[in-house]
Amino acid sequence: MIEVIQRRGRCVEAASGASVAVVHRGELVALRGADVETTFRSAAKPFQLAVSLEALGDPELSAEDLAVGAASHSAEPFHVARVEALLRRFDLDVEGLRCGSHAPTHTPSAEAILRAGQSFTALHNNCSGKHTLMLAACARNGWDSNYLPPEHPLQRRIHESLARWMAHDPYSVTDGCGVPTFCQPLSAAARAWGVVASAMAAGGADDPWSDRLGRIGRAMALRPDLTSGTGRLDLEVVRASREEMAVKVGAGGLFCVALPERELGVAMKVHAGTMEALPALVAWALETFAPGAWEEPEAWSLRRVTNVAGLEVGEWAVRATPRGRAR
């Protein structure tokens, strides 16, 4: 059993159950907590991107392009500029993106747009890179530009490919950005991320899918600033790593990791979906199942509980008992 707890002083103020699944070369080697069903949300982005690349005929894209294509970015100016460059590359207009608009999650960037008297657009949606490449795939293949429905040819390809990588046929629900996302056991999500880890380890593999996923994973490891954003968990985890890793947060308390040197895929879930609890769970999971791969920053701010004045009044931590299943 795993719980992520929030302490305020000596008092445990909140506790959320959690699970961690670890896969090595397709085999589930560890499971702590229940193998809960979870949505994949943004942790599906490397796989959605790989299918878009295949549909595009594998264009030559930089690591920066691939990173923002798999991103849940914060819409800082350098994120927006990279998405705009992708739109120009494929001769697309922002109006064709169907992700909707929202304020940048990077507060200073949102405030700068408002001060300038401008409006938020689909460029500022954290999923705009993924949607740009989905729209580009539709244009190249003559598919309907409304790529949102599950029955769309691109979405069917994504579903079929993920079922293969997970060794499980997920069912679909609708993501926050409008495209299908997937529901599966946590172990199936870990298995898919294990495929990314093995693809990253393989280098320039002969298998085209391994090549695509490997390039995407390496781009995410190289440019986590484009995949994530200033002060966010994904970016801080990669920056504190001691070996190559690709990581991705998913809404609803999900976090996935590919560790190519160990060929491990790790998926973890805070059952209550509490995103503030994730840093403590990520630190515990990496220390437990991949010792030496990562070093927690000293006095890590993402673990701290602060009051309105910014004073530290507590912390997030993990309370684990020996119960659980390991193989």
| Tens digits of residue pLDDT in 110-158 | 999 999 999 999 999 999 999 999 999 999 999 999 999 999 999 999 9
Q: What is the pLDDT of residue 153?
A: 98
DSSP letters of 180-219?
Answer: EEEEEEHHHHHHHHHHHHHHHHH-S-SSHHHHHHHHHHHH
- Spatial contact of 179 and 155, defined as CB atoms under 8 Å apart: yes
Query: To the nearest whole percent, how much of the chain has pLDDT over 90?
Result: 95
Q: What is the pLDDT of residue 264?
A: 98
Q: How far is CA 260 from the centre of its chain?
A: 16
DSSP H or E segment with residue 141: helix 128-141
Q: What is the mean pLDDT of residues 243-255?
A: 97
Instruction: Please state, in angstroms and rounded to a whole number, the distance separating the CA atoms of residues 54 and 315.
Output: 44
Q: What is the mean pLDDT of residues 257-283?
A: 97
pLDDT confidence bin for 321, thresholds 50/70/90: confident
Average pLDDT over the chain reads: 96
What radius of gyration, in Å, describes the C-alpha atoms of the chain?
A: 19
Q: What is the pLDDT of residue 323?
A: 54
pLDDT confidence bin for 325, thresholds 50/70/90: very low
Instruction: Please state, in angstroms and rounded to a whole number, the distance separating the CA atoms of residues 112 and 118.
Output: 9
- Spatial contact of 165 and 55, defined as CB atoms under 8 Å apart: no
Partnered with residue 3 across adjacent β-strands are 17, 319
Instruction: Please state, in angstroms and rounded to a whole number, the distance separating the CA atoms of residues 218 and 64.
Output: 11
Q: What is the pLDDT of residue 204?
A: 67
List the helix and strand counts (H, then E) for the chain.
Answer: 11, 12
SS3 227: helix
Instruction: Please state, in angstroms and rounded to a whole number, the distance separating the CA atoms of residues 317 and 296.
Output: 13
| Tens digits of residue pLDDT in 62-104 | 999 999 999 999 999 999 999 999 999 999 999 999 999 999 9
Q: What is the mean pLDDT of residues 169-198?
A: 98
Q: What is the pLDDT of residue 324?
A: 42
